[in-house]
Amino acid sequence: MEAEISRSGAEPPESRFQRGTNQSGMRDFNERLVLSLVRRSGSLAKTDIARMTGLSAQTVSVIMRELEEEGLLLRGQPIRGKIGQPSVPMSLNPDGAYFLGLKIGRRSAELVLIDFVGAVRAMLQFSYRYPTPRETVDFVTRGMEQIRSTLTGRQDKRISGMGIAMPFELWNWAETAGAPSSVMDEWRHRDIRAEIQAKCPFPVYLQNDASSACGAELVFGRGTIPRDFIYFYLGAFAGGGVVLNGSLHVGPSGNAGALGSMPVPGPEGRPTQLIDIASIAILEKALNARGIEASHLWTSPQDWGDVGPDLDEWIAAAGTALAYAIVAASSVLDFEAAVIDGWMPEAVRSRLVASVREALAKIDVEGLHLPEVREGTVGRHARALGAASLPLSDRFLIGTGAPMKSA
């Protein structure tokens, strides 16, 4: 089991969430509001929640009692020493619900099971040269059987859904991924969500992979989570997401925050797209051109070893491209932060963020307020964890975005 992903942030929860309502017919919203507050704060007493939400003490008592009976909240030890009744903190029950997440990438697939607090209970990985629908469905089928076999009957019944994070229009990346067009074109004619839904007794959701990674930072990120931030995830190809007013903004087509397509200065000053400079596939291509086998970039994201000068050149170029992308985005929206994460070792991520900051200092940004550039806190598995957060957000939280869901 990996360490718990979710952490309580320093920002006061009452500044991040909407007010509750004591009117009838709003039970579901109020329950989500309470669970969202408890998730962000770690644990809260009834009096705290009543103060933060504006709900009556009686309404809060009813909600928390029902959530406890449903197995979603755990009662802590009473805190004495104050006037009146002792305060009883309530926290999320890790076994209250489980969620599966599937990341379909251009070089690998991941299947993860997380519990109600975001701790990883199981994770499987499948590496390939390029993805095919048949192999992907087979991987998911075998993986779900393997993971679910480790659960008790009660735990299995508490799987609340599966999320799928994958690049939209995957067939358009055949040439860049080095895959046969005929194979990649199969994705055009397959409804992968429907195929996987047919094998699941719980709902299946779908979202763009980079948006899902952004959602993981929003739901599971450590420390203070900004209300408005732009997010970059560098995998085989660069992508990203946008969070506005504490919610993931995906737009009507689900493709908002397609930052990989953002124009940036390229070689000799000619414009190109961010994806053509900051993607890890560009680093792989440079290594292969010098006869260096680069599969470890995908199979060992925790440690790339001594990559050499090609890594230095890629970090410098990617840092400059990301800096221009941040400046361009800041001329449209006022972001508090620019968050950078990816399928890479933490040391490489730190160097990349430093490169971005250095490049920003050389760009004319008169008239703009630049966001704080910071490292992501979820890490290389952000896309898979973001996928798992889709059913969590849809069923139990407020204000985290609207994934596409199976009927």
310-321 residue pLDDT tens: 999 999 999 999
pLDDT at 76: 84
In the predicted structure, residue 20 carries a pLDDT above the cut 50: no
Look at 5-9, 225-229, 254-258, 357-361 and tell me which has the smallest mean pLDDT: 5-9
- Determine the 3-state secondary structure of 108 from DSSP: strand
How confident is the model over 359-369, as a mean pLDDT?
95
pLDDT at 146: 97
β partners of residue 243: 229, 248
How confident is the model over 151-165, as a mean pLDDT?
96
365-399 in b/e burial notation, b at 16+ Cβ within 10 A? eeeeebbebbebbbbbbbbbbbbbbbbbbbebbbb
119-158 in b/e burial notation, b at 16+ Cβ within 10 A? bbbbbbbbebebbbbeebbebbeebbeebeeebeeebeeb
Look at 91-105, 168-182, 263-277, 375-389 and tell me which has the smallest mean pLDDT: 168-182
pLDDT at 14: 35
CA separation for the pair 116, 94 (Å, rounded): 5
177 versus 136: the higher-pLDDT residue is 136
Per-residue pLDDT band at 271 (split at 50, 70, 90): very high
Per-residue pLDDT band at 81 (split at 50, 70, 90): low
Q: Which helix (H) or strand (E) holds 66?
A: helix 57-69
Percent of the residues in the chain that have a pLDDT greater than 70, as a whole number: 89
pLDDT at 403: 52
Q: Which domains does the chain have, with CATH numbers?
A: 13-92 (1.10.10.10), 97-213+383-405 (3.30.420.40), 224-376 (3.30.420.40)
How confident is the model over 243-272, as a mean pLDDT?
88
What single-letter amino acid sits at 381? H
